[in-house]
């Protein structure tokens, strides 16, 4: 993209987003319950192997039900810039999807009852050609939708201005001949 003087516009980050933090409530409850249960049960049995089994089971529960959901939450990132929407996900295998604002797309917000209570929602970006991009459970979904609409309008306006400026420049050259 270029500004009115013909210089390229630097891409700026408008927002960095993740899923709503309420998805981490259950892992925190599981963490507190498992730490409490292991600390209560460890050492109460006569056999040492049972106490060791309780400790190993508690660690396994914490890794599977607390650490993995937290890492999955951290590894899903959505970035809105002045030029595009970027979706990054994955821990070992990383996936990156992008859609340019200049291509034009539709933005739909879907909300469940719990999402409406917390003012979050799923944002579906459909460009028509590629498969839709889903921004899952985004806080302030209506505000994000409004920002995306503004970014699309700006990108479409700059493309329109660029085509107009190129067309007027070519008309000026032909009128000189």
9-51 per-position pLDDT tens digit: 689 999 999 999 999 999 999 999 999 999 999 989 999 999 9
Per-residue pLDDT tens over the stretch 88-117: 999 889 999 999 998 889 999 999 999 999
Query: What is the Cα–Cα distance from 137 to 140, expressed in whole angstroms?
Result: 9
- Evaluate the CA torsion angle 12, 14, 18, 19 in order and state its sign: negative
Per-residue pLDDT tens over the stretch 41-70: 998 999 999 999 999 999 999 999 999 999
pLDDT score, position 128: 82
pLDDT score, position 49: 94
CB 141 within 8 A of CB 109: yes
Task: Place 5 in a pLDDT band, splitting at 50, 70 and 90.
Answer: low
Three-class secondary structure of residue 96 per DSSP: strand
């Amino acid at each position: 993209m270029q500004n009115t003087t013909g210089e390229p516009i630097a891409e700026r980050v408008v927002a960095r987003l993740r899923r709503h933090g309420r998805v981490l409530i259950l892992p925190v409850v599981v963490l507190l319950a498992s730490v409490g249960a292991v600390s209560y049960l460890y050492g109460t049995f006569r056999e040492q192997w049972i106490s060791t089994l309780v400790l190993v089971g508690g660690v396994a529960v914490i890794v599977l039900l607390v650490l993995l959901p937290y890492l999955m939450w951290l590894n899903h990132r959505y970035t809105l810039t002045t030029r595009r929407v970027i979706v990054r996900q994955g821990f070992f295998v990383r996936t990156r999807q992008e859609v340019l604002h200049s291509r034009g797309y539709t933005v739909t917000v879907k909300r469940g009852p719990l999402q409406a209570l917390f003012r979050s929602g799923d944002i579906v970006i459909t460009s028509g050609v590629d498969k839709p991009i889903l921004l899952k459970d985004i806080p302030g979904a209506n505000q994000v939708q409004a920002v995306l609409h503004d970014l699309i309008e700006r990108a479409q306006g700059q493309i329109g201005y660029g085509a107009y400026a190129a067309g007027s420049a070519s008309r000026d050259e032909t009128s000189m001949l």
